[in-house]
Amino acid sequence: MSEEVLTEVRDGILIVTINRPEAKNAMNQAAAEGIAAAMDRLDAEDDLRVAILTGAGGTFCSGMDLKGFLRGERPSIDGRGFGGITEKGPVKPLIAAVEGYALAGGFELMISCDLVVANSGAKFGIPEAKRGLAAAAGGLVKLPQMIAPKIAMELALTGDFIDAQRAYDLGLVNRVTDGPALDAALELAGKVTANGPVAVRVSKQVIVESPGWSYEERWQKQGALMPQVFMSEDAREGSLAFAEKRAPNWKGK
């Protein structure tokens, strides 16, 4: 794992920290490789149930490292995109814990996560046009599917920032906290880890993939995935635990 990315495990939660505070956690190649490696670990290890992506030093990510860009460095991973997740994320849930700025590529990292928790002082935006660039890591193609297209257009063309409350009102943020974003993200992650791992994984898969399904095929495609859930050991365990008034003992199979 690169020194630009730190990892820690707490109760089945993998905390992934972009560790370039001197550069406002601007994304370089080493950090992108570190995040991609952490996502591989998340999906490979059965005892890991969810990950949190955050940044060191009070900033989430200020975007692409422009100095690295001028040196010809590419902060992307083939097949995965900017920061190792914008084109293809992990199978298991990923939560963004945002402090400070989530700008440009940092904003695109954030919207590539499944859930977002932000400190009330956080700022968001895709100001690439101010530098003669474009938000090509998801800002231009994902954002109009998440919020009103005219608002997405305004953010892209003006490069203006929005605050945490505005991001929450637009539906880009799940929770705003006055305290540390990581603490609130850990609380949210705990709610995810309390549930059946197979059910969580397949539920995420359907929500992520179904926008590309036609009306005619949506029930067929969803139905093809459901046996993994309803025929799993966890499905039986969840029902037994409910009947016996106890916490489930999930096996993830």
Angle of helix 197-209 relative to helix 218-225, nearest 10 degrees, comes to 160
Q: What residues are annotated to the active site?
A: 108, 128
- List the structure tokens of 89: 């994320």
The DSSP result for 24-55, as a single string, is: TT-B-HHHHHHHHHHHHHHHH-TT--EEEEEE
Per-residue H/E/C for 183-207: HHHHHHHHHHHCCCHHHHHHHHHHH
Q: How many CB atoms lie within 10 A of CB 219?
A: 10
Q: Which stretches does DSSP call E strand in 56-202? A: 76-77, 81-82, 94-98, 101-103, 115-119, 123-125, 162-163, 175-177
Q: Are 42 and 8 in contact (CB under 8 A)?
A: no
Q: How many CB atoms lie within 10 A of CB 205?
A: 14
